[in-house]
C-alpha cells in the first residue's frame, strides 16, 4: 500500500500520528498563505492543510499523495458535519499522482446532472457518495444473502448464459454461433430450467446471483439485463420457501434499512388482493380499498353499469377522501388519466361536503334509491369523491380502480414514505385466457397446481389455483416463485391445456422432460428481483442507481456507446446471414445442435 491510513477513518485519537494518505481533491479553499484541501478516498473525507505554495496548483479531482501529521484542529475550528471534523492533516509533502482535466460534470453530492451525462461519465458520478454508497449497499446485500443461504447449506452454482430460450414469455436476446452458422444461442431470461435440472441432479439446495436478459422495452425499474437472487430447493413445501424468503428479507431490511420486518409477513390471496386493491402487488401503506357494487347496482338504468352487470361483469368503486373539493378541471383530469391507460373514462360522484348530497354527471343517471345508499355502500363521507369502473372482465375494471387507488394516494398525500408494508400474495391463478381464446400460464408452465386443483384444473382453468407466491413491499413485487411440477403426467396435462403439443414440448424443453423421467424430486423455488430490492433498500427510485454501468431507456450505454455496428468481417464470421438448412432430424431431440427456425 502506498498509504498508511484511510482518510475518512482518522479521529482525534490519531493526533500526533504522521500519516500518508492517497485520494482525490474533493474541494480546495485557497487563502493564499494557507490552503485547505478536502482529501477524499473510499473511506470518506479529511481536511488537509497546506502552508506551501505547491498546493496552489491543485485542482478538483487531482489524484494526490499527501504525507502529514494529524493535528487536533485549532479551538473553534472543528467541523461537526464531518466524521473527521475534529482533526486535520498538516501536510509536509505533496505528490500529484495524476492531474484531472476540467470536469464535464460536478463531482459534488449537492449537485445533480442529467441521467445520460451521469452515465457517460459514470466513473465520475460514482465518486459521489450517494451513487457510490448505492453500489456498496448492493455489495452488502449480496453478502447477507450468501450468509443466510450458506448457513442453510445452499450451494452457489453458476448456470450458462449462452443457452437456449427458457419459455418465460419475453423476447430473447440472441447470439450468433460462428461454429454452426445459422444457429443462435439465447441469453437466459432466468435460470429456471437449469435450476430445476440441478434439483433432478440431487443438489437439493441451489442459489445464484444470476444475470438475466429480456429484450423488452425498459422502464425506471427495468433494464435489458438485470439480476435476480435465484433459489431452488428440493423436498420442500410452499411454506418452507416462504420462510426462507422471509429470513432473507428480514435480514436485508434490518441490516441495510434499519427496519425490523414483522414476521411472519402477512399473506393475502391473489383474489383478495384483486378484490380489495385492484392489484396483484398491492401497496398496503394506505387504505382506500375497492368496493364491489355489482349486486348493489343491480337494476340500474345507467347503461355503462347495466351493460357490465348484464354481461356477468363487475362494477366497483374507490373513494377519494376529500375528493369533492377538486375543481371541475381536476375531475376532468381524471378522465384524461383514465383514457391514458386505455379506459373509456372514470365515472365519478362527489358528495357535497355540507349535505352529503351526491352530485356530478353520473349522479343524474342513478336512481334515488341507488344514490341514497351509495355513500354507505362504499364507505364514503360527505366531501369525498367516488370513482367507478365497470367492465365485462372483472379484472379489467379492478385494475383500473387499483390504478386509481394508487393515484388517489399520491394526489392526496396518503403515502407514508417512511413505512415498509410487506405481504405475500398467494394462491395465484394457474391460467389466464389469451386473446385467441386459449389459455396461457400466469407464472410459467412448470408451476404446480395446488393440492385442491392438482387432479382437476382442466375442469375450470380460470379458477384453478397454483402454488405460486409473490413477495410485495410498498406496491413493488420484489420476488416470486412457485412449487414446480415434478410429475410427468401433470406436466403433460398442463401442456395439453396450454395447447402445447407433445412435439412442441419436446422441441422446446425436451431435455427437461427427459430429465424428469429419472426420479425428479418435488421442488420449489423463488427469485428475488435483486436490482429492485437494492433500489428500495437504498431509497432510490430507479434501478439504474444500484447498477454500476446501466443502460438508458433505449438500451444504449452512453459510456461505451454500445451497441455498435459490426464490421463486414464480423458479420461474415458470425454467420448471421446464413440460411437455416433443412434437416430430417427433429430439432433438439438428440442432443445435437441443429438449425432451428424460431417461433418468436
Q: Is 563 in the site for RNA (CB under 7 A)?
A: no
Q: Is 428 in the site for RNA (CB under 7 A)?
A: yes
Among 10, 22, 47, 200, the residue binding RNA under the rule CB under 7 A is 47
- Classify strands 225-234 and 205-213 as parallel, antiparallel or unpaired: antiparallel
CA pair distance 33, 31, nearest whole angstrom: 6
Q: Is 396 in the site for RNA (CB under 7 A)?
A: no
CA pair distance 389, 375, nearest whole angstrom: 16
Question: From residue 481 to residue 520, what is the string marking binding to RNA with x (rule CB under 7 A)?
Answer: ----------------------------------------
CB of 467 to RNA, least distance (A): 12
Nearest to 471 by CA among 233, 199, 241, 298: 241
Length of the chain: 600
Written as nine digits, the cell of 511 is 431435455
CA pair distance 45, 17, nearest whole angstrom: 17
**How many angstroms separate the most distant Cα atoms in the chain?**
90
Q: Is 395 in the site for RNA (CB under 7 A)?
A: no
Question: From residue 210 to residue 229, what is the string marking binding to RNA with x (rule CB under 7 A)?
Answer: ----x-xx-xxxx-----x-
Between residues 102 and 519, which has the closer beta carbon with respect to RNA?
Answer: 102
- Classify strands 476-483 and 468-473 as parallel, antiparallel or unpaired: antiparallel
The response to whether 463 counts as a known ligand-binding position is: no
Q: Are the C-beta atoms of residues 452 and 429 closer than 8 Å to each other? A: no
Written as nine digits, the cell of 328 is 371541475
Q: Is 103 in the site for RNA (CB under 7 A)?
A: yes
Residue 120's H or E segment, with its range, is helix 115-120
Nearest to 119 by CA among 551, 543, 564, 562: 551
Among 111, 151, 568, 585, the residue binding RNA under the rule CB under 7 A is 111
The response to whether 214 counts as a known ligand-binding position is: yes
CA pair distance 238, 425, nearest whole angstrom: 12
Among 7, 527, 536, 537, the residue binding RNA under the rule CB under 7 A is 527
CA pair distance 557, 218, nearest whole angstrom: 13
Between residues 338 and 366, which has the closer beta carbon with respect to RNA?
Answer: 338
Burial group, residue 131, by CB count within 10 angstroms (0-12, 13-18, 19+)? buried
CB of 202 to RNA, least distance (A): 26
How many Cβ atoms sit within 10 Å of the Cβ of residue 312?
Answer: 10
The response to whether 215 counts as a known ligand-binding position is: yes
Q: Is 525 in the site for RNA (CB under 7 A)?
A: no
Among 7, 10, 70, 113, the residue binding RNA under the rule CB under 7 A is 113
Residue 143's H or E segment, with its range, is helix 129-151
CB of 357 to RNA, least distance (A): 34
Between residues 280 and 292, which has the closer beta carbon with respect to RNA?
Answer: 280
- Which 530-559 positions form the footprint of RNA (CB under 7 A)? 542, 552-554, 556, 558
- Which 79-98 positions form the footprint of RNA (CB under 7 A)? 79, 81-82, 85, 88
Three-class SS of 452-521: CCCCCHHHCCCCCEECEEEEEECCEEEEEEEEECCCHHHHHHHHHHHCCCHHHHHHHHHHHHHHCCCCCC
CB of 360 to RNA, least distance (A): 24
CB of 599 to RNA, least distance (A): 13
Stretch that binds RNA, among 78-86, 153-161, 315-323, 510-518 (CB under 7 A): 78-86
CB of 225 to RNA, least distance (A): 12
CB of 77 to RNA, least distance (A): 4
Q: Is 51 in the site for RNA (CB under 7 A)?
A: yes
Q: Is 411 in the site for RNA (CB under 7 A)?
A: no
Distance of CA 436 to the CA centre of its chain: 30
Q: Is 136 in the site for RNA (CB under 7 A)?
A: no
CA pair distance 81, 235, nearest whole angstrom: 54
The response to whether 164 counts as a known ligand-binding position is: no
- Classify strands 205-213 and 155-156 as parallel, antiparallel or unpaired: parallel
The response to whether 369 counts as a known ligand-binding position is: no
Residue 336's H or E segment, with its range, is helix 328-340
How many chain residues touch RNA (CB under 7 A)?
Answer: 70
The response to whether 532 counts as a known ligand-binding position is: yes
The response to whether 115 counts as a known ligand-binding position is: no
Nearest to 47 by CA among 90, 6, 96: 90
Between residues 135 and 170, which has the closer beta carbon with respect to RNA?
Answer: 170
The response to whether 196 counts as a known ligand-binding position is: no
CA pair distance 465, 293, nearest whole angstrom: 25
Between residues 365 and 447, which has the closer beta carbon with respect to RNA?
Answer: 447
Q: Is 326 in the site for RNA (CB under 7 A)?
A: no
Three-class SS of 186-250: ECCCCCHHHHHHHHHCCCCEEEEEEEEECCCCCECCECCEEEEEEEEEECCCHHHHHHHHHHHHH
Residue 318 pairs in a beta bridge with 387
Q: Is 115 in the site for RNA (CB under 7 A)?
A: yes
The response to whether 69 counts as a known ligand-binding position is: no
Q: Is 243 in the site for RNA (CB under 7 A)?
A: no
Burial 440-470 (b: 16+ CB within 10 A, else e): bbbbbbbbbbbeebeeebeeebeebbbbbbb
CB of 64 to RNA, least distance (A): 15
Between residues 136 and 341, which has the closer beta carbon with respect to RNA?
Answer: 341
CA pair distance 47, 87, nearest whole angstrom: 8
Question: From residue 343 to residue 382, what is the string marking binding to RNA with x (rule CB under 7 A)?
Answer: ----------------------------------------
CB of 165 to RNA, least distance (A): 10
The response to whether 529 counts as a known ligand-binding position is: yes
Q: Is 32 in the site for RNA (CB under 7 A)?
A: yes
Q: Are the C-beta atoms of residues 133 and 42 closer than 8 Å to each other? A: no
Binding site for RNA (CB under 7 A): 27, 29-34, 36, 38, 47, 49, 51, 59-60, 73-74, 77-79, 81-82, 85, 88, 102-106, 108, 110-117, 168-170, 189-190, 214, 216-217, 219-222, 228, 280, 340-342, 403, 428, 442-443, 468, 470, 477, 480, 527, 529, 542, 552-554, 556, 558
Binding residues: 168, 214-216, 223, 443, 477, 484, 529-532
Binding residues for L-aspartate: 168, 214, 443, 484
Amino acid at each position: 500500500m502506498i498509504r498508511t491510513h484511510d482518510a475518512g477513518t482518522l479521529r482525534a485519537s490519531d493526533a500526533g500520528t504522521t500519516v500518508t494518505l492517497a485520494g482525490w481533491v474533493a474541494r480546495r479553499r485557497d487563502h493564499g498563505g494557507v490552503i485547505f484541501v478536502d482529501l477524499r478516498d473510499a473511506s470518506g473525507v479529511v481536511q488537509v492543510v497546506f502552508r506551501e505554495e505547491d498546493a496552489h496548483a491543485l485542482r478538483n479531482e487531482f489524484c494526490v499523495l499527501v504525507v502529514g501529521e494529524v493535528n487536533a484542529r485549532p479551538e473553534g475550528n472543528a467541523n461537526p458535519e464531518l466524521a473527521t471534523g475534529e482533526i486535520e492533516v498538516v501536510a509536509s509533502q505533496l505528490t500529484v499522482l495524476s492531474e484531472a482535466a476540467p470536469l464535464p460534470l460536478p463531482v459534488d453530492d449537492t449537485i445533480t446532472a442529467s441521467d445520460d451525462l451521469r452515465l457517460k461519465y459514470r466513473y465520475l458520478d460514482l465518486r459521489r457518495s450517494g451513487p457510490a454508497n448505492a453500489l456498496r449497499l448492493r455489495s452488502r446485500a449480496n453478502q447477507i444473502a450468501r450468509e443466510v443461504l450458506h448457513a442453510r447449506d445452499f450451494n452457489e452454482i453458476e448456470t450458462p448464459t449462452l443457452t437456449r430460450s427458457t419459455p418465460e414469455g419475453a423476447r430473447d436476446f440472441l447470439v450468433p454461433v460462428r461454429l454452426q452458422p445459422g444457429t443462435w444461442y439465447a441469453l437466459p431470461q432466468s435460470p429456471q430450467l437449469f435450476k430445476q435440472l440441478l434439483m433432478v441432479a440431487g443438489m437439493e439446495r441451489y442459489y445464484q446471483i444470476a444475470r438475466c436478459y429480456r429484450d423488452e422495452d425498459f422502464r425506471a425499474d427495468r433494464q435489458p439485463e438485470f439480476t435476480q437472487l435465484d433459489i431452488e430447493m428440493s423436498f420442500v413445501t410452499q411454506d418452507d420457501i416462504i420462510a426462507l424468503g422471509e429470513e432473507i428479507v428480514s435480514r436485508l431490511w434490518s441490516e441495510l434499512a434499519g427496519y425490523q420486518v414483522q414476521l411472519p409477513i402477512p399473506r393475502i390471496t391473489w383474489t383478495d388482493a384483486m378484490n380489495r386493491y385492484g392489484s396483484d402487488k398491492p401497496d398496503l401503506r394506505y387504505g382506500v380499498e375497492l368496493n364491489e357494487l355489482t349486486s348493489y347496482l343491480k337494476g340500474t338504468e345507467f347503461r355503462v353499469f347495466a351493460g357490465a352487470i348484464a354481461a356477468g361483469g363487475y362494477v366497483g368503486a374507490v373513494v377519494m377522501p376529500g375528493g369533492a373539493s377538486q375543481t371541475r378541471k381536476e375531475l376532468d383530469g381524471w378522465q384524461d388519466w383514465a383514457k391514458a391507460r386505455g379506459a373509456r373514462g372514470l365515472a365519478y360522484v362527489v358528495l357535497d361536503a355540507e349535505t352529503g348530497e351526491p352530485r356530478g354527471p353520473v349522479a343524474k343517471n342513478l336512481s334515488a334509491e341507488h344514490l341514497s345508499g351509495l355513500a354507505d355502500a362504499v364507505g364514503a363521507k360527505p366531501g369525498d369523491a367516488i370513482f367507478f369502473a365497470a367492465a365485462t372482465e372483472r379484472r379489467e375494471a379492478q385494475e383500473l380502480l387499483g390504478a386509481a387507488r394508487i393515484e388517489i394516494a399520491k394526489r392526496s398525500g396518503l403515502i407514508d414514505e417512511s413505512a415498509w408494508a410487506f405481504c405475500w400474495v398467494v394462491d395465484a391463478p394457474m391460467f389466464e385466457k389469451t386473446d385467441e381464446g386459449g389459455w396461457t400460464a400466469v407464472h410459467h408452465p412448470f408451476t404446480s397446481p395446488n393440492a385442491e386443483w392438482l387432479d382437476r384444473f382442466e375442469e375450470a382453468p380460470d379458477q384453478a389455483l397454483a402454488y405460486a407466491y409473490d413477495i410485495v413491499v410498498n406496491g413493488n413485487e420484489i420476488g416470486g416463485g412457485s412449487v414446480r411440477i415434478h410429475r410427468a403426467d401433470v406436466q403433460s396435462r398442463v401442456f395439453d391445456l396450454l395447447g402445447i403439443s407433445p412435439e412442441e414440448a419436446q422441441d422446446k424443453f425436451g431435455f427437461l422432460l427427459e430429465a424428469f423421467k429419472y426420479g425428479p424430486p418435488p421442488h420449489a423455488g423463488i427469485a428475488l428481483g435483486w436490482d429492485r430490492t437494492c433500489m428500495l433498500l437504498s431509497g432510490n427510485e430507479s434501478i439504474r442507481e444500484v447498477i454500476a454501468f446501466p443502460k438508458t431507456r433505449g438500451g444504449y450505454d452512453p459510456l461505451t456507446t454500445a451497441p455498435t455496428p459490426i464490421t463486414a468481417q464480423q458479420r461474415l464470421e458470425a454467420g448471421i446471414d446464413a440460411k437455416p438448412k433443412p434437416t430430417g432430424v427433429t430439432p433438439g431431440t438428440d442432443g445435437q445442435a441443429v438449425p432451428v427456425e424460431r417461433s418468436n
